[in-house]
Each structure stands twice: as C-alpha cells, then as structure tokens.
Structure 1
Amino acid sequence: MQYEAYLFADPTCFEYLDARLTKEIEALKAIANQYETPELINDGQQTAPSKRIIAQFPDYGKAKPVFGPQLAERIGLEVIRSRCPHFNRWLSRLESLI
C-alpha cells in the first residue's frame, strides 16, 4: 500500500499546498467518496493514490517525501485511523507490543 492512500482520509489537507485549487481538492474528495475506505483506492499502477494526487497537484510528485508527511500531520493520526481500518489494526497491534 502506498502511504498516499492515507491522505485521502481528508483531502482538504491539500489546501496546505494551495487553498485556491478548490477544483483539484474537490476532485480528490470525489475519488475518496467512491471508496468505502481510502485503503481501497490503490487499484492499479496508473490509478494508484500517488498518481491520482499528482494528476491534480503536479508539484506533489517532485516533493512527495516532504509534502506527504506534512499533509498526513495536518490530517492527524486520529482521523487516519478512523478512516483506515487496516492501518488502525496494524498500529494497534504495534502499540500492544509496548
């Protein structure tokens, strides 16, 4: 799974890149709304979450390692966990080891 799927937990996080790009943000919201969970968005090489994001925000492709974590932080772990059950189970399992 690409970590970019988690960014679809709240596509409004992309306002951080450029709040004026409302059409692009709405396009990402529409993609997210087509799936029960963002974890299911990863359905092919050309339709992978990162490819969908780059189609709307081309600059994201050049700076994924920087933008990705910043956007995830803006969403917050609580929201990502609530929208991504597989991720939540995995993280809960890790937490149980502590």
Structure 2
Amino acid sequence: MMIRVHIICEGQTEEMFVKELLVPIFLAKGLLLVPALVGRPGHKGGNFKFDRLQADVKNRLLNEKTAYCTTFFDYYGLPQSFPGKDIHDSQVDIVTKATRVQDAMTTKLTRLISDDAMRRFIPFVQMYEFEALLFSDPLAFARGISNEHLSQNLIDIAEQFDSPEHINNSPQTSPSKRIESLIRGYEKPLMGTLGALEVGLDVMRQKCELFDNWLKQLESITVVGSSNT
C-alpha cells in the first residue's frame, strides 16, 4: 500500500525540487510524496507565516488519517516571530538553530491540532536556504545551469564553510544572494532545479547532514507504515 506524504513547501523552487528529484526515488520506496505550496491554492509561496502552516498541516493530517506531513522551507526566510526563531547569537551552531525551530514548531502545532495526528508530522527546516544544496558540488551546479565559467567562483564560496548548510544567512551572504551576485537574471525555480538535477541527490546527502537526516526520517515511514497495516 502506497503511503502519502504531504510536503508543505515554501516556494516554487522547493516544490519543483521535490517533484523532479524526490518523488521518483521515494515512489520506489512505497512513498508518494505530494508537494504543495504553503497557503491557499494559487499562492506562489514565500512569507511563511505560522498561521498558514497550521491550517495546511491540520487539513492534511485530519483529512487523511494515514497520510504523513512534513515541511520544506528555509530557515533564512522565516520571520523572527516564527516559533523557535528568536535566536540572536551568531555563534549558535546550525544543528541547535534547526532543532529549536523544529521542536518549537511541532510543540505549538501539537497544542493546536492533536497529539495523535501529530505523530504523523515530520518537521524540517533547510539550513540556511535551499540553494545551499547546490553548493554540494559547485562544478556540477555550474555545469547544470550552463555557467561553467563560474565554477571556480562557486568552489571558492563552498570552501569557506564547513558544509553547504553552513553558508550564512543574511540579506547579503545567503546562498541565493551569492549566486545572484554571480549570475544576473538567476531564475530560482528553473535554474535551481537544473542545477540540483546535475548535482544529484547522493552528493547532497553526503555533504548536507541535516538534509540527509530529514530524508532518512521520510525513509523510515515505510517501516512504521508497514507495521501498522
């Protein structure tokens, strides 16, 4: 029996990434990933307010009693009012930052929905931004977007950090801002997906520990789901 997993995405880039890279792989594992943008139909994503997320999670978990729900949005883009985001210490490590948001988000959602339904919820926040995944292999990324001449620039950026997920979050230095400074007219959904396809999921998982842990949690659903049937 195929298990449905709703993935609430921040924007069109994340939605396309799920469709092109994750859906085919997880189908073979017995999971049907169903990506959708946060908020009302027709909304283009972004502006990730908690009330929108709450409505989406509640609808999916309560309307489908066997489906799971997860999130795929950027830490960088969250408002400071988002649960767990009120961290001002720049020295706090990325694992702590991600965990605080994910735990606080889950706690608040559980109060508003129910313990039973929330057992099928898997929180995930991408550190610091989707585009960080593309720095897992700068050469492949440059090749995928037909900008091979920028390979060394992208390598230089990646080599400044412990991992792609450490590329810092600010209006000037977030992963997407670094890319946009090199590529005029960078189109996030299209070029982000082309780059991601060239980089490949295996390399992303090797280089991005938090992202890999999220996918491992999704993979574990097949074990839990099969034991409940």
Residue 82 of structure 1 aligns with an amino acid whose one-letter code is Q
Q: Give the residue type in structure 2 aligned to 1:83.
A: K
- Matched residue, 1:15: 143
Matched, 1:25 2:141: no
Tell me which structure has the larger Cα radius of gyration: 2
Tell me the residue number matched to 1:87: 211
CA offsets, 1:3-28, max 9 Å, x none?
Answer: 1000000111212333452xx32111
Label 1:77 to 1:20 Cα distance change in 2 as closer, same or farther (>3 A).
closer
Q: Counting helix residues as a fraction of each chain, which structure ranks higher?
A: 1
**How many residues get paired?**
94
Q: CA RMSD in A?
A: 1.3
Does structure 2 conserve the Cα–Cα contact (< 8 Å) formed by 1:9 and 1:80? yes
Segments of 5+ residues of structure 1 without an aligned counterpart are none
Report the 3-state secondary structure (helix = DSSP H, G, I; strand = E; otherwise coil) of the residue aligned with 1:58: coil
Provide the residue aligned with 2:129 in structure 1. Answer: 2
User: Paired residue for 1:39, among 138, 144, 165?
Assistant: 165
Q: CA 1:30–1:20 in structure 2 vs 1: closer, same or farther (change >3 Å)?
A: closer
Task: Give the corresponding residue for 1:50.
Answer: 176
Unaligned runs of 5+ in 2: 1-127, 223-229
The 4+ residue runs of structure 1 with deviation greater than 6 A are none
Greater strand fraction, Structure 1 or Structure 2? 2
